Structure formats: C-alpha cells, structure tokens
Amino acid sequence: MNQISTEEEQEEFHEEQDSLWRLALSPTLWALHFVICYGATTVFCADHILGADYLTTLRLGIGLLTIGVLAAIVWLGWGAWRQWDVVRDREWENDAGNNEDRHQFMGHAAFLLSLISAVGVIYVSLPVLLIASCA
Amino acid sequence: MTRRYPDVLQPEGTYPPTEDMLAEPVPQEVQEAQKKRLRAAWKTPQGWRYWSAVNNTEVGIWYTMTAFFFMLCAGILAVLMRTQLAVPENDFLDADRYNQFFTMHGSAMMFLFAVPMFEAISILLLPGMLGARDMPFPRLSAYGYWCFLIGGIFVFGSILFDSGPKAGWFMYPPLATKEEGIGPDVWLLGLSFIEVASIAAAVELIVGALKCRPPGMRVNIMPLYAWYVMVVGGMILFAFPPLIAGDFLFELERSFDWPFFDPVRGGDPMLWQHLFWIFGHPEVYIIFLPSIAIAAMIVPTVARTPIVGYSWIVLSAVGTGFLSFGLWVHHMFTTGLPQISLGFFSAASEAVVIPTGIQLFAFVATLMVGRVKMTLPMLWIAGALAIFVAGGLTGVMLAIVPFNWQAHDSYFVVAHLHYTLFGGMVFPVMAGVYYFFPFFRKKLLSETLGRWAFWLIFVGFNVTFLPMHLTGLKGMPRRIFTYPGSAGWDWLNMMSTVGAYITAAGFAVFVYDLLRPKAYQGQIKRNPWGGGTLEWAHDVPEEAWGNRSVPYITSRYPLWDQPKLVERMDAGRYYLPDAPEGKRETLITSVIDAKPLMVQRVTGPAWITMLAAFFTGGAFIFPTFHIYEPAIVCGAFAIVCVLYWLWTSTAQVPDQARKDVGLGLSLPTYASGPTSVGWWAVWITMLGDSTAFASLVFGFFFYWTARPDFITIGADHATGAAVALGVTLFVVSWAATVLAREVNKRSHITLARLALALAATCTVGGAGLIILSVLDLEPTTHVYPATMWALMVWLVAHALLGVIMQLYALAGSIFGKMTPQYDADLCNVTLFWHFMVLTALVTGFILGVAPRLLA
C-alpha cells in the first residue's frame, strides 16, 4: 500500500500468509511421526510382506525417528520462543492491534503448539518402548 | 503470483485511518441517502420470493431451525427407545423397528443435527462477529442449505416408510453390506449428499474467517470463535472426505457387487472401519470445538473481563484439531490389531486430554479473574462444563485398552458418549441460543422458562445417563431391543427412562419459549449482555445490511476498548458506508493483518441455488432405488445449473476497475489468483477432494498389508501402455492449461484459446485411455480389479470436471467474460488442474507401476 506511515507499521516483520502455516509445523511433525509409526508397524507386523520378524528393526527405527522429530520440534519451539520474546518484554497477552503484538502472539502460539506436539510425540513412541510383540 | 504483472491494481490512499479522519462527522443528509441506498441493495425479498434469499441472516435461521427440527425428531426416537427399555421383555417396539430407531437416532443426531448446527450457527454469527456484510459466497451457503434440507428429509423420511437403515450409525459391513432393502443405500447416498453441504460450508467459513475480517482485525485480536471456525473448517476438509471415499466404495459394493468389504473375494470389512472412524473421531471434535467456541464468547461477557490465556485457547483449538486425527482406532480396540498399534492410539487419546483441558482451565481462570454475573447463558455453560468434565474422565478410562475391552459395546460407552456430546455440544449450544437470541431475533428469551428448561434438562440428563455407567458395567450390551428381567438391570433402566422423560419435558419448555410470540417485548436493548465483541454492534430494529459501515478494529473487545466505535459505525464513518451502484459488497482483507485488499461483490437472491440443489439431490437419491438414467439426467442438469450460476454472477468483469471505499482509501474491484476469494475456495475444496483421493490410495495399500492374496490373484493388470499414454495426455493437458494462463496474461488471446482447446482434447483422450486400460479387468471377481476400477472412475469423473472447466474458460475468453486483465476463472481452473495432474500421476502409478513392484 502506498501511504502507510503510522507508528505501528514502522516495525515491519515480513510474514504474511506464511506465518499461519508456520503455526502448524510442529503439529504436522507430530502427525507425520504418528502416521509413520502406525504405517511402519502395520507393514512390519504383516508377515506376508517381509516374511520374517523384524520387530527389533522396527523398534530401533521408530526410536531414531522419534529422536529426530523431537529435535526438529525443539528447534522450531526455540525459534518460536525467541519470536514470542517474553523474557525481554514480559508481555503475556499480546493483545494490541499492531505488528509487534501480532508477531509475538504467533511466536507464543507456535511455542505452545511445539510443547504439546513434543508431548504427543513422546506419548506415541512409548508403546514401542514398552511392547515387544506384534501380537 | 499476480505481483509479477504491473497492470494489477493495488490499494491506494490512506490506511490505517487517522484519528482525525475518524473524528470528522458525516452530514445527516448524506447518512440518510447512504442508508436508503444500502437498504435497497440488501433488501430481503418479500412474499413467496422470500425463499430465494441467500443472505446469511436468512439462510442461517433456516439452517438452525431445520437442524433443530431434526434434533427434536431424533430426540423423539430416543424417548421411544427409552420407553421400550423401561421394563424387561417389553413389546412396545419390535427388534426391527428398534434397530431402525437407534440407527436413525445416531445418524440424525450426528449428520442432521450436530455438524449442520455448527455450520448453521457459524453462517448466522460469523459475519456479525467480523463486521462483514455477509459471507463471501452467499449462494454457496444457500445451495448447501437446500442440499441439507432435501437430503435430511430423504434420510429421516425413510423411517416413516419402515425402510430406514438398521445396522447402527457406523454401518459396519458385512451386516450393512448384506442388509436387505434400501436402508443402507438411503444412509450412504443421502448422507453423502449432505456431506456436500458440509464441505460447502467449510469452504465458506474458512474463507470467511481468513479473508472477510474487518480492516485491522489481525489474527492476534480476532474473536476466538473465528479461530475455532478456522480449525474446524480445516478438520472437516480432512475428516469428511475419508467417509465420502468409504461411502463411494460401499455403494459400489451394494449396487454393483464390487467386493471391497467381502473377505471371500479378497475384500476386508476393516477398511470400512478405518475410513469410517478416520472421519468419526475427528467428527466428535468437529462438533465439540465450535460449541466450546460459544463458551469462549460468553465467558468473557459474563465475567466482564477479557479472556485469560487467548494464546492458550488458540493452542488448544489447533492442538486438539491435530491430535484428534490420531484417535480413530480407539473405536476399534477389539478388532485384533497389533498391540503396538493399539498403544499408539491409546497414547494419542490420552494426549488430546491436555489441550482439551487447557481451554476449560482458561475459562475457569477467566471466571475467577472477573466479576461473574450468573446470567442464563452462563448457567448453561456451567452445566456444560460439569457434564463435559465427567464425560472426559470416562473418556480417559476408555482410552486405556484393557478397560476398553471390558466396556466395549456396553451401556458404559453409551453413557460416556452422551456425557461428552451433551456437555460438549448440547449445553453450550443452548447457552448460545439464549446468549445470541437477541442478536439474531432482536428479542429475548424468557429468564424463568430458561431456568426451568435448564434444570429439567440438567437433572433429566443426569438421571438418564449417570445410571447407565453402572448398567454397562453390569454387562448390558447396547443396541439390543430388550433384556431379561433376571439380569438385574431393570431398576437402572427404569430410572434412565424416567430421566429421558424429564429431559424431554425440559426441551418442550425450551421449544415453547423459542416459538411463543414475543411482540409484547417491544424493542430490546442493543447489547443486552454488555458483550465486547463486534456482533453486539448489530442494528436494533433489524437491518439486512449486516453493518452500517465496516469498522477499523484495533482491539480484541472493540466495544469495550474503542469508545466511539458503534457511534461511528452507525454514522457510516467507516468503510463501505454506501452502495452507489445498488449492489451488495463486502471488504476482502489480508489473511494475517487484515489489510484491506479489494471490494468483493457478493451475490444476491436467486432461485438457481435451489434448482441446483434439487437436481443434485436427484443425482444422489435416484441411485438409492437402483434407477440410474434419471440420476444421470439430474446430474447433468445440476452441472448446467451450477455453470449458469457461475457464469452469470461470479468473477464478472467490473464496470469500474477500482472504487472509493471511504476514509480516503481506494480499492480494486476485481482480483484473480490468491487475492481473490474464489481462488481460496478452489484451493480449500481441492484440499478436501485430495483427502478423499488419498483415502482411496490408502485403501490400495491397506489391502496390500492386510491380504497376502491382494495382488497375486487375478494377475491381470491394467494395460501398461494405455496407462502411460493416458497419464502423459493428462500432463500435456495440465501444461497447456498453465500455458493458457500465462499467455493470456500477456494478451496473446488466440494462443491462449488454442492452448485451452488442446488441453480439453488431451483431457478427453487421457480419460478414454485410462478407461481402456482397465477394461480387461473384471471388478466383481476380486477386490484388486475392483480397486483399479474405483481409481479409474475417480480419475475419469475428475477429468470430466476438468474438461468442463477448460471449456468454461475457453468460452469465457470467447464471449468476453474473461480477459487478459480479468482472468480469475482461468487462474482457478489452473489451480484445479494442479491437483488434477497430481491425481492423474498417482493414479497412473497405482494402476501401472505399483502392482508390478509389489506383487
């Protein structure tokens, strides 16, 4: 737009459409992790496909995947934490209609979603730790 | 994507408005003249033409009342069933009728009440909350409503002819595939038809929440209701399509004997269970989230303080939306899946409790911070929280696999699901009716009758369902029409029946309150509850224009924080205060920061939507009776109606390229590509469509993992050469469509037309070759050829749509509806083709390559 010159517009954060998607990244990682766990277990536990018992391979594979996905979520969460920037300005609500609050709100929401996604990933990987049979 | 071209118009002028501009008064005579023109543009049709209305206030009321009517009908079935179960060995209903009743009770409550009610309420309320004039696609809402009405009457009506479905609302095969009569077909086709309406509403609501917010209403200050609507709309796109895919396979088996769920010929009933519950579990949250969103609007008002933990509630809505897709197998714990797999779903079921709990805590925190006034809506919300928490706790129990094995298919499950649905849906929606009634009827419901209704329903509900936990633990199975007196369940059942009658009495009081004449009330206060959100800037007495002018918003609770807002809205100080051309318009803003982007013409009253719904209904309803020719004719007429509707009222070449919208801002009147709402609608629809296609692909791989004999038996494959050539033609068609868009933008009109003609020809050729490739396979013999045929049918049906779109764009170019500058239609067709070429490539891979690799 041509004549935008008020205070709230001066601090420009370049995030239009993309930032809504960024909110969904951590939960999407959870979903991918979930689908791979479920799909891989189905394939590895169907004897007619692999013809032998590869349960240990499956458990190791899911373990490694879980570590990788958790690392990615932690990385996203860290980015979101810095975007929220709560340590510096101690603001929790971010309820003003300006760029800064919108930016920090997106960080806050993405951070919380990373937390819940990490919990979800840990929960979903527990059965592989605890159950050692396809029965 | 449009930014590459310099001739695309941008907004010009001042934004955001300065305080000086807002403070400048509008002369009285200007105000009156503007009001007169606006009123004329938004006038509701009178007399019998009233039914051609498409405005959200009319369609929203019809939609809510229809959904509520179906709810009452399904409730009557429940009371009749409770009457049958009052005493052991009762013969009030026979087994067959009882089966029809419980199937219809569940199906109607889910498909004809809970989901449509969300869509109805959102269509009714969302524009008000966003200060928008209307939803972006009013005729789509109307079309969805008429589809819902026709489909709902068809499905529910079947029970009056003793031919309703009777295999339970989840229709498990082989019981439902082998069932005599048309009951299952009514269910499959009637409800698929209604799902069309659901997806239409999802498109409407997502685009509404993303693109129709008032200027300045950024994502961090939009009403929580809009957040929930966006999440739920997204969930519908991923949850309903698997069911549509499942219905498609199921009906192919019922009508043409393609053995998808018949184990003798390689099929597997478990595929239906998966597809059904991939829909069915998220659906519970699709019902729950928008209802709890009503609570998120009411709680701050009664606590007279902003919501505590806005970000946390957004987290919980988005988080629940995702996690709810990882729960579906907890309905299938007793089907013998590997225990590790059960573990994944058990874990995810426990995890979803966290975000669900967070939002309840946020509500409680808000109530603790504020000074609560126990109004009638708050009473219902309090009841909702109590009941929902109880249902949530039994949910935690049922998510634990060994307990689930014990309680499976017993009345414990019936008690649990009614606690979650009454607490998570019925009570919050009732709260919403009391709270928003002054908004949509400009009258108040009775405080006294409301308290009577509340206590009757609250007590009646608990008397009905609390004992059912025990009935279930004592071993009474659900869905059996009677029980022996010796089982020791009789007093529990009697209690439940008494409770059901008390609940019914409560609803009777509510219905009376709703329908009784209220003229004596006179004019009510404009904001009777003292709410802070934008819907309470509504006009009393009613005006059809939505808002007098579209405000500039800088706060989550603008009515509390922006002191002169309502006064200035009324004076027409803000945007779009006038309708100089006598047309209906609303503002389109950007997704994140709600910067004004363009003025969107919205469509007015029309019969064509009703006609389109009528023919669409024919296309779904005739096949129920296995008569296909009239169905095909109806389908063709439906397409013609939709084409007429699009051609005459969407993406019109504007009479002026830009217009002044007030406050020194001038906006374009036309957009193509991602700035336009049509592009978003196509994108969202195709996301849902792709999910349905992915479900079919899932079916292929499911059979591969579930059945050792899936590919080896009937070793004939689709003809490789035909598949390869067919897919190539689809790719050429896609490339030609993209080329047409690009050269058209550069004003090479003839070249664009040639490219579109080539594209259409290639599409027809490609479809023909794909049909040819599977002709040698016999779909009734085994599930493998049946799967190949199903994929072929899916691709060819989409190719048909694809070629219609290409020809539509070609015709647009020839008859001047589409020009190099005004090319929204071609952009949307290209977007469809991006999805189409992906569908063709994947189908080609599965028809031609995958079987040869996996065999």
**Chain B hits for A96, Cβ within 8 Å:** 221, 554-555
What pLDDT band is residue A18 in, cutting at 50, 70 and 90? Answer: low
Mean pLDDT across A6-22: 53
The reply to whether residue A1 touches residue B592, judged by beta carbons under 8 angstroms, is no
State the average pLDDT for chain B.
94
The angle subtended at Cα B420 by Cα B418 and Cα B425, nearest 5°, is 95
* pLDDT (0 to 100) of residue B4: 46
d(CA B606, CA B592): 33
Q: Which residue has the higher pLDDT, A12 or A24?
A: A24
Q: Is B69 on the interface with A (CB under 8 A)?
A: no
HSE of B71 in the Cβ direction (CA atoms, 13 Å)? 22
pLDDT in tens, B242-293: 999 999 999 999 999 999 999 999 999 999 999 999 999 999 999 999 999 9
- Helix B183-211 / helix B677-706 crossing angle, nearest 10 deg: 140
Residue A8 has pLDDT above 70, yes or no: no
**Chain A hits for B553, Cβ within 8 Å:** 97
What single string gives the DSSP state of each residue in B696-762? HHHHHHHHHHH-TTTTTSS-----HHHHHHHHHHHHHHHHHHHHHHHHHHTT-HHHHHHHHHHHHHH
Residue from the list A45, A116, A124 with its beta carbon closest to the beta carbon of B354:
A116
Instruction: Give me B484's structure tokens.
Output: 């022996």
Mutate to test the interface with B, among A93, A99, A121, A126 (most CBs of B within 10 A): A93
Q: What is the number of CB-based contacts under 8 A between chain A and chain B? A: 160
Mutate to test the interface with B, among A32, A43, A83, A95 (most CBs of B within 10 A): A95
Q: Which residue has the higher pLDDT, B853 or B806?
A: B806
**Most distant CA atoms of chain B, gap in Å:** 85
Mutate to test the interface with A, among B228, B231, B311, B709 (most CBs of A within 10 A): B311
| Least confident range of B515-524, B768-777, B837-846 | B515-524
What pLDDT band is residue B421 in, cutting at 50, 70 and 90? Answer: very high
Q: Is B9 on the interface with A (CB under 8 A)?
A: no
Residue B41 near residue B579, CB atoms below 8 Å: yes
pLDDT in tens, A89-124: 777 888 888 888 888 899 999 999 999 999 999 999
The reply to whether residue A135 touches residue B14, judged by beta carbons under 8 angstroms, is no
Q: Which residue has the higher pLDDT, B639 or A130?
A: B639
Encoded amino acid at B418, one letter: H
User: Could you tell me if residue B663 is left (phi over 0), alpha (psi between -120 and 50 degrees) or otherwise beta?
Assistant: left
Residue from the list A99, A124, A133 with its beta carbon closest to the beta carbon of B348:
A124
Please report the ipTM that was assigned to this predicted complex. Answer: 0.91
CA distance A68 to chain B (A): 18
**Chain B hits for A2, Cβ within 8 Å:** 10-13
Residue from the list B321, B344, B590 with its beta carbon closest to the beta carbon of A127:
B344
What pLDDT band is residue A17 in, cutting at 50, 70 and 90? Answer: low
Q: Using CB atoms and an 8 Å cut-off, which of residues 294-313 of chain B contact chain A?
A: 306, 310-312
HSE of B43 in the Cβ direction (CA atoms, 13 Å)? 11
The reply to whether residue B347 touches residue A127, judged by beta carbons under 8 angstroms, is yes
The reply to whether residue B315 touches residue A113, judged by beta carbons under 8 angstroms, is yes
d(CA B352, CA B348): 6
Q: Are strands B12-13 and B665-668 parallel, antiparallel or unpaired?
A: antiparallel
**Chain B hits for A117, Cβ within 8 Å:** 319, 322
Q: Is B97 on the interface with A (CB under 8 A)?
A: no
Query: How distant is the alpha carbon of residue B645 from its chain centre?
Result: 22
Residue B5 has pLDDT above 50, yes or no: no
d(CA B569, CA B17): 14
CA nearest to B202, candidates B135, B255, B248: B135
What pLDDT band is residue B555 in, cutting at 50, 70 and 90? Answer: very high
Task: Report the chain B residue with the minimal C-alpha distance to residue A102.
Answer: B220
Residue from the list A42, A43, A116 with its beta carbon closest to the beta carbon of B315:
A116
- B596 pairs with which residues across the strands? B589
**Chain A hits for B342, Cβ within 8 Å:** 127
Q: Is B236 on the interface with A (CB under 8 A)?
A: no
Q: Is B45 on the interface with A (CB under 8 A)?
A: no
The reply to whether residue A128 touches residue B340, judged by beta carbons under 8 angstroms, is yes
φ, ψ of residue B86 to 5 degrees: the values are -60, -40
d(CA A69, CA A114): 11
d(CA B754, CA B750): 6
d(CA B743, CA B750): 9
CA distance B535 to chain A (A): 19
CA distance A128 to chain B (A): 6
d(CA B692, CA B791): 11
Whether omega for the bond prior to residue B263 falls within 30 degrees of 0, making it cis, is no
**Chain B hits for A9, Cβ within 8 Å:** 16
DSSP conformation class of B424: I
* pLDDT (0 to 100) of residue A12: 44
Residue from the list A17, A99, A131 with its beta carbon closest to the beta carbon of B339:
A131
The reply to whether residue B339 touches residue A133, judged by beta carbons under 8 angstroms, is yes
Mean pLDDT across B369-397: 95
- B666 pairs with which residues across the strands? B12, B660
* pLDDT (0 to 100) of residue A90: 79
* pLDDT (0 to 100) of residue A93: 83
pTM assigned to the model:
0.94
* pLDDT (0 to 100) of residue A89: 79
* pLDDT (0 to 100) of residue B10: 87
Instruction: Give me B143's structure tokens.
Output: 């079309």
Mean pLDDT across B186-215: 92
Encoded amino acid at B14, one letter: T
What percent of chain B lies above the pLDDT cut of 70?
99
**First-last CA distance in chain B:** 44
Q: Is B326 on the interface with A (CB under 8 A)?
A: yes
pLDDT in tens, B645-658: 999 999 889 988 89
- Three-class SS of residue B611? helix
Encoded amino acid at B561, one letter: D
Residue B589 near residue B211, CB atoms below 8 Å: yes
* pLDDT (0 to 100) of residue A134: 83
The reply to whether residue A119 touches residue B346, judged by beta carbons under 8 angstroms, is no
Q: Is B698 on the interface with A (CB under 8 A)?
A: no
d(CA B655, CA B790): 46
Q: Which domains does chain B have, with CATH numbers?
A: 56-521 (1.20.210.10), 708-854 (1.20.120.80)
What pLDDT band is residue B713 in, cutting at 50, 70 and 90? Answer: low
Residue from the list A2, A49, A97 with its beta carbon closest to the beta carbon of B12:
A2
Q: Is B21 on the interface with A (CB under 8 A)?
A: no
Mean pLDDT across B152-173: 95
d(CA B496, CA B484): 17
Residue B476 near residue B410, CB atoms below 8 Å: yes
The reply to whether residue B14 touches residue A49, judged by beta carbons under 8 angstroms, is no
* pLDDT (0 to 100) of residue B709: 84
φ, ψ of residue B598 to 5 degrees: the values are -160, 170
The reply to whether residue A49 touches residue B312, judged by beta carbons under 8 angstroms, is no
Q: Is B674 on the interface with A (CB under 8 A)?
A: yes
What pLDDT band is residue B715 in, cutting at 50, 70 and 90? Answer: low
**Chain B hits for A124, Cβ within 8 Å:** 326, 344, 347-348, 351
Give whole-number Cα distances, A111 to A33, B93, B218, B744, in Å.
19, 55, 19, 44
CA distance A130 to chain B (A): 9
- Helix B720-745 / helix B824-844 crossing angle, nearest 10 deg: 160
What percent of chain A lies above the pLDDT cut of 70?
84
* pLDDT (0 to 100) of residue A13: 47
CA nearest to B222, candidates B313, B320, B340, B134: B313
Encoded amino acid at B568, one letter: R
DSSP conformation class of B251: H
d(CA B494, CA B112): 29
Q: Is B708 on the interface with A (CB under 8 A)?
A: yes
The reply to whether residue A97 touches residue B221, judged by beta carbons under 8 angstroms, is yes
d(CA B446, CA B835): 52
Instruction: Give me B92's structure tokens.
Output: 């009030």
CA distance B333 to chain A (A): 13
* pLDDT (0 to 100) of residue A4: 43
Q: Is B346 on the interface with A (CB under 8 A)?
A: yes
Q: B317-342 burial, b for 16+ CB within 10 Å, e for fewer?
A: bbbbbbbbbbbbbbbbbeeebbbbbb
CA distance B107 to chain A (A): 29
pLDDT in tens, B569-607: 999 999 999 999 999 999 999 989 999 999 999 999 999
Residue B410 near residue B382, CB atoms below 8 Å: no
* pLDDT (0 to 100) of residue A2: 40
pLDDT in tens, B42-77: 999 999 999 999 999 999 999 999 999 999 999 999
What pLDDT band is residue A20 in, cutting at 50, 70 and 90? Answer: confident
* pLDDT (0 to 100) of residue B708: 86
Residue B114 near residue B287, CB atoms below 8 Å: yes
- Three-class SS of residue B775? coil
Q: Is B666 on the interface with A (CB under 8 A)?
A: no
| Three-state SS letters, chain A | CCECCCHHHHCCCCCCCHHHHHHCHHHHHHHHHHHHHHHHHHHHHCHHHHCCCCHHHHHHHHHHHHHHHHHHHHHHHHHHHHHHCHHHHCCCCCCCCCHHHHHHHHHHHHHHHHHHHHHHHHHHHHHHHHCCCCC
The reply to whether residue A43 touches residue B705, judged by beta carbons under 8 angstroms, is yes
Residue B368 has pLDDT above 90, yes or no: yes
* pLDDT (0 to 100) of residue B54: 94
What pLDDT band is residue B324 in, cutting at 50, 70 and 90? Answer: very high
* pLDDT (0 to 100) of residue B716: 75
Residue B706 near residue A46, CB atoms below 8 Å: yes
